[in-house]
Amino acid sequence: MKNRTVMLLALLLGLIMFAGTGCGKRAVEAPTDPAAEELTEEEKARLEEERLKEEMERQALEERRLQEERMERERDEVDAEARIQDAMEEITANRIHFAFDSYELDADARSALQKISEHMKRFDELRLVIEGHTDERGTAEYNLALGERRARAAYEFLVLLGVSSDRLQIISYGEENPLVDESNESAWAQNRRAEFKVLD
């Protein structure tokens, strides 16, 4: 039964080959086929061996390529991590400062907020808490409200620059967390600020 099928297939193949002789190109290939059938067992084994060797080499190459791709991907990830780390550091370093009893954003503050908004747009996974602080010269409760005004001024500017409000949170610390714990003009100027912290 099985032999008959093989014979039928061989006959069919022969017919196709015969029909194909009309095409010049095929005519060249056709004579090689009978030769292959005449390969010795030894040669078959050698060919098989070569084929296996080629296959192994191909696989090794593929492995190497995958390895390189993986490394590149990891390099990119590290780069992205480094870039986001840089962005976070820059955001944190961008404190903005205010005049006494004021929550008005000056030119420096606006340009700092511009930079922060760019980072926020580049890395949309970042979320910020904006802290409003005052110097120690006012009184605690009013300062708590003034700190809120400062944080909100920064918040509203960032929203205006296109940062989504649900990525921003504000808190006022009033005079409770001075940057410089001294009582002089320079310390007060540094303490009247809004700070930006990246939320985990």
Partner 1 sequence: MIKLRFFIFLSAIFLVVSLLPTRAWAQDSLHIDIFGPGEDRINAFVAPPRDLQSEVLHNPELGSRIYDGLQSNLGLLPFLTQVNPEHILGGPGVEGVRGRDIDFRKFNLSRVDLLLTIGLEQHAGGPGSVEIRAFEVFDQRMILGRAYDLQDLDQVPLMLRRFCAELMEYLTGNGDFFRSRLAFERKKNGNKDIWSVTPQGNDLTRLTDLRGITLSPAWSPDGSRIAFTLMRDNEHHLGIWDLEKGEEEVFSMPGNTVISPAFSPEGRLALSLDPMGRPDIYWLDDDYGVDETIMEHWAIDVSPSFDASGTKMAFASGRLGNPHIFVHDFEKGQIQRVSYEGRYNTNPSISPEGDFVAFTRQTPDGHRIFVVDLETGREKQISSGPGNDEDPAFAPDGYFVAFSSNRSGEYRLYLTTRNGDEPREISTGEGNAKAPAWGLEKDF
List contacts with partner 1 (CB under 8 A).
101, 129, 137-142, 144-146, 148-149, 151-152, 169-174, 176, 197, 199
Shortest Cβ 93–partner 1 spacing (Å) = 19
Q: Which amino acid is at 183?
A: S
State which residue, 118 or 156, has the beta carbon closest to partner 1: 156
Shortest Cβ 137–partner 1 spacing (Å) = 7
CA 100, CA 136: separation in Å to the nearest integer? 10
Written as six digits, the tokens of 181 are 């714990």
State which residue, 123 or 173, has the beta carbon closest to partner 1: 173
Q: What angle do CA 168, 119, 148 make, to 5 degrees?
A: 30
Shortest Cβ 116–partner 1 spacing (Å) = 17
CA 27, CA 121: separation in Å to the nearest integer? 66
The pair phi, psi for residue 192, each rounded to 5°, is -80, 95
Burial status of residue 77 (CB atoms within 10 A of its CB: 0-12, 13-18, 19 or more) = exposed
State which residue, 96 or 148, has the beta carbon closest to partner 1: 148
Alpha carbon separation from 167 to 42, 96, 123, 159, 171 (Å, rounded): 73, 19, 11, 10, 14
Q: How far is CA 171 from the centre of its chain?
A: 30
Shortest Cβ 153–partner 1 spacing (Å) = 11
State which residue, 82 or 140, has the beta carbon closest to partner 1: 140
Shortest Cβ 61–partner 1 spacing (Å) = 53
State which residue, 92 or 118, has the beta carbon closest to partner 1: 92
